[in-house]
Amino acid sequence: MSELSSIVGQRIRRYRIRRGLSQEALARLCERHPTYIGQIERGETNPTLDSLEKVCQALQIPMSQLLEKVEKEPIRTDDIALQCYDIMCSKSEDEQKDLMDLILAIEHYKDVD
C-alpha cells in the first residue's frame, strides 16, 4: 500500500493505544471487523471515508486531526519532523506541554555551549 496509508494507519494505532483500546475494542466501537482495523493500522488497506469517520468517532478525534499534515510532498515514513508531529498529536495536552518544555530545555542547553 501507499505511504499515506501507512502514515494514517500508524496514527490510528497511536490514538487507539493512547485511549487504552485493543484492536478488538476499537473494531466493536466502530462496527468493523478487528482484522480490518489491523489491516488499516498496518497500511495494508485503504479505509473508506465512512470507515475513517467511524474510527475517528470511536477514538474521539476529529477526522481533520487524523489527516492533518499528511499531504506533505513527498510523504516519507522516515521524515523525523512528521514522526515528531505524530507523536506530539497523540499525547494529551499536559504531555505535549512537558515534551515542549523538554525540547526547549535541550535547545537552551545547546545555546549555552
pLDDT, position 41: 95
Is the per-residue pLDDT at 60 higher than 80?
A: yes
**Rounded alpha-carbon distances, angstroms, from residue 109 to 19, 60, 88, 100, 105:** 34, 37, 22, 14, 6
Direct distance between the N- and C-terminal alpha carbons of the chain, in angstroms, rounded to an integer: 45
pLDDT tier at 71 (50, 70, 90 boundaries)? low
pLDDT tier at 97 (50, 70, 90 boundaries)? very high
Q: pTM of this prediction?
A: 0.66
| pLDDT one-digit tens code per residue, 5-31 | 888 999 999 999 989 999 999 999 999
Is the per-residue pLDDT at 76 higher than 60?
A: no
